[in-house]
Amino acid sequence: MCNHCESSSIIAVEDYDPEIDEFCEFLPDPEDEDSFSEEEFICPEKPAYIVFESFVEDHLCERHAKIVAEEEADSGFLTEAAGLGTSRIEPIESGEPVRCEYFDLMSPNGDACNAWATHALIVETESLLCAKHYEEYKKAED
C-alpha cells in the first residue's frame, strides 16, 4: 500500500438540497453479494448528501506515468471526459512497494506491466447519496 492509498478516503460531505431533481447515485459492489441485487441496482431515493472522495485508480511505473500524463494532456483528463471526476498523477513517496497496474488495451496480447510503481493515478469524485446509502458507505469506510 502506497502513501496515497493510505490517504484515500472521504474528503468532505455536504448536505444536499432534496428539492433538486436528482436521485441517489449508490452503486452496489457486484462482487459483494450482500449489497448487490438486481432489484436494488438503482436507488429511487432523493439524495441527502454530496460526498467528495479520493482514491487511487492505478499505480504506475515511471514510463507508464508519462504515457498516461501525455494521453490525458492531449485529450483532457479521461475521468473528467467520462464524467467520473478529476484525476492527477502524483509520485509515490512511501509505503510498501507495489507493481505497475498499467494494462495496454491496444496491445494485441493485452500486455500488463509488472515493473515497480513510482506514481499513483488519483481520482477525485463526488457522489449524491440518500441517507440510508450514506450511512452504509460510512460504515464500510470505518
Strand partners, 108: none
The percentage of residues in the chain with a pLDDT greater than 90, rounded to a whole number, is 29
Output the pLDDT for position 81: 46
Confidence category of residue 60, pLDDT binned at 50, 70, 90 = very high
Residues 87-96 pLDDT 10s: 889 999 988 8
Q: What's the whole-number mean pLDDT along residues 59-81?
A: 77
Predicted pLDDT of residue 84: 61
* 3-class secondary structure, 21: coil
Q: What is the pLDDT of residue 26?
A: 85
Q: Are 47 and 128 in contact (CB under 8 A)?
A: yes
Tell me, what's the pLDDT at 31?
60
Is the alpha carbon torsion for 47, 84, 103, 113 positive or negative?
Answer: negative
Collect all residues with Cβ–Cβ distance below 8 Å to 54 and sequence separation of at least 6.
Answer: 7, 8, 9, 11, 122, 123, 124, 125
Residue 116 DSSP label = B
**DSSP 3-state of 30:** coil
Contact call for residues 40 and 82 (beta carbons, < 8 A): no
52 CB burial (10 A radius; 0-12, 13-18, 19+): middle
Q: Could you report the per-residue pLDDT of 6-53, keeping only the tens digit for each?
A: 776 788 999 998 788 888 988 766 565 555 555 556 788 999 999 998
